[in-house]
Amino acid sequence: MKKLAENLYYVGVSDKSLDLFEGQYEVPNGMAYNSYVIVDEKVAVFDSVDAACFDKWIKNIKEVLGSRKPDYLIIHHMEPDHSANIMRFVEVYPDVTLVSSFLAFKMLDQYFHKEVKNKLLVNEGSKLSLGSHELTFVSAPMVHWPEVMVSYESKTKTLFSADGFGKFGAFDYEEDWACEARRYYFGIVGKFGVQVQDLLKKASKLDIQRICPLHGPVLDSNLSYYLSLYDTWSKYEPEAEGVAIFYTSVYGHTKAAVDELEEKLKKGGAKKVVRFDLARDSESEAVEDAFKYGKIVFATTTYSMSIFPFMHNFINHLVEHNYQNRDVAIIENGSWAPNVEKVIKEMFKNSKDIRFVEPTVKILSSMNEENHKQIDELVSNLLSKSNKKEEKKTHKWVCKICGYVHEGNELPEGFTCPICKHPASDFSKIE
């Protein structure tokens, strides 16, 4: 338990024994499941915690409230790491009123199959007075689930941001925020940049002095720094100047090309060069740096008429997370029928603003003199790239029913909202 401001408390729990978050992201410094309490004429608890953390969470709440009982449980997000203990909370406090969105209550029924006695439905712009504190609810669909809402408390000027502005790591673990927040963002939220941009525009109209996310530390200083990073990330713009090299190598010949490329890039004046062996290094950290830098090199071998599995999985992960606006170079290797360039370009065919840098380095088994010349030319071309995205006017369309935002000059024929399934006639263009 920690006091954040007058009548505002942190009652979350950190699991420092957890090795994988969502069964895939390594968390060497644990994971925080954040929950908050406002004590006023009415008492509001904000969000539940992971199933394994119930006892500690309830203990923290009781430490704040003493003999008082909460009037409201605010549910911003129904993912189980934040909702697993909702019904156990209701068992402890049977008179509590659950406050959330229509879609969240629908999910609540899907998870628990139990009747909820006291419910308060809120939507965009709804207000809830606790006394001297007042909550305003803001819809945030697909940041990163469809039911998500955030809320703003006007007295403490606090934004309860759901999974937005979260990061990996225990609540009390001190480290650079950006690294683990970036890895968290692009692993979990990154696909939904348009929706994050929509939320940032709403947030820009609020006087925010504190951000209380559902993971990671409370942010209460230098907020422009965090907001600026989220703006960059959600626009898919490179954050830093540099070259990121991602490779796989079976017998060392492709690695030799990567070694030479890295050395020549550094000698040529590259501000930063990072490299990842995709068979050995953390995939989530590789994804993080693929989004951090604007110049990317994929070096791999032909494998079963496609590309090496670790590279194939990695590029799939990038494409699924809406990867775009990058200069991409390719080093391919194959002893017969090399196929890397063809496969990689096909994988990115629907990605926006992927600019392939020539030449493709084409290795037949091992490096020859021509390959050394190709690397020299590739280094020159990579270092001369500016990474400036061509400005293209793209329209956005918002669902009038649930708030989902679709990006595109026109709505496709037969289009329906992926969240609420309403037709294109229920969308309006965002001017």
| Residue 389 belongs to a domain | no
Average pLDDT over residues 64-69: 96
Residues 185 and 304 in one domain: no
| Residue 417 belongs to a domain | yes
- Is the pLDDT reported for residue 190 higher than 80? yes
- Is the pLDDT reported for residue 422 higher than 60? yes
Q: Which residue has the higher pLDDT, 336 or 388?
A: 336
| Residue 316 belongs to a domain | yes
- What is the per-residue pLDDT for 364? 96
Residues 49 and 186 in one domain: yes
Average pLDDT over residues 350-372: 96
Q: Which residue has the higher pLDDT, 1 or 215?
A: 215
Taking only the tens place, the pLDDT of each residue in 218-268 is 999 999 999 999 999 999 999 999 999 999 999 999 999 999 999 999 999
What secondary structure, in 3-state letters, does the chain show?
A: CEEEECCEEECCEEECCCCEECCCEECCCCEEECCEEEECCCEEEECCCCHHHHHHHHHHHHHHHCCCCCCEEECCCCCHHHHCCHHHHHHHCCCCEEEECHHHHHHHHHHHCCCCCCEEECCCCCEEECCCCEEEEEECCCCCCCCCEEEEECCCCEEECCCCCCCCECCCCCCCHHHHHHHHHHHHHHHHHHHHHHHHHHHCCCCCCEEECCCCCCECCCHHHHHHHHHHHHCCCCCEEEEEEEECCCCCHHHHHHHHHHHHHHHCCCCCEEEEECCCCCHHHHHHHHHHEEEEEEEEEEECCEECHHHHHHHHHHHHCCCCCEEEEEEEECCCCCCHHHHHHHHCCCCCCEEECCCCEEEECECCHHHHHHHHHHHHHHHHCCCCCCCCCCCEEEECCCCCEEECCCCCCCCECCCCCCEHHHEEEEC
| Residue 391 belongs to a domain | no
Domain range for 159: 2-234
Residues 285 and 215 in one domain: no
| Residue 17 belongs to a domain | yes
CATH of the domain at 314: 3.40.50.360
- What is the per-residue pLDDT for 386? 59
- What is the per-residue pLDDT for 402? 66
Residues 215 and 192 in one domain: yes
Residues 248 and 224 in one domain: no
- What is the per-residue pLDDT for 393? 56
- Is the pLDDT reported for residue 391 higher than 50? no
- Is the pLDDT reported for residue 132 higher than 90? yes
Average pLDDT over residues 372-380: 97
Q: Domain boundary residue among 219, 234, 249?
A: 234
Taking only the tens place, the pLDDT of each residue in 138-167 is 999 999 999 999 999 999 999 999 999 999
Q: Domain boundary residue among 186, 210, 234?
A: 234
Q: Which residue has the higher pLDDT, 84 or 428?
A: 84
- What rounded mean pLDDT belongs to the chain? 93
| Residue 390 belongs to a domain | no
Taking only the tens place, the pLDDT of each residue in 309-346 is 999 999 999 999 999 999 999 999 999 999 999 999 99
- Is the pLDDT reported for residue 28 higher than 80? yes
pTM of this prediction exceeds 0.85: yes
- What is the per-residue pLDDT for 96? 98
Residues 7 and 115 in one domain: yes
Domains identified in the chain, total number: 3
Residues 88 and 10 in one domain: yes
- What is the per-residue pLDDT for 390? 46
Residues 367 and 286 in one domain: yes
- What is the per-residue pLDDT for 425? 85
| Residue 353 belongs to a domain | yes
Residues 230 and 257 in one domain: no
CB 8 within 8 A of CB 154: no
Residues 246 and 229 in one domain: no
- What is the per-residue pLDDT for 180? 96
| Residue 292 belongs to a domain | yes
- What is the per-residue pLDDT for 429? 83
- What is the per-residue pLDDT for 421? 75
- Is the pLDDT reported for residue 195 higher than 90? yes
Residues 64 and 107 in one domain: yes
Residues 59 and 161 in one domain: yes
- What is the per-residue pLDDT for 321? 94
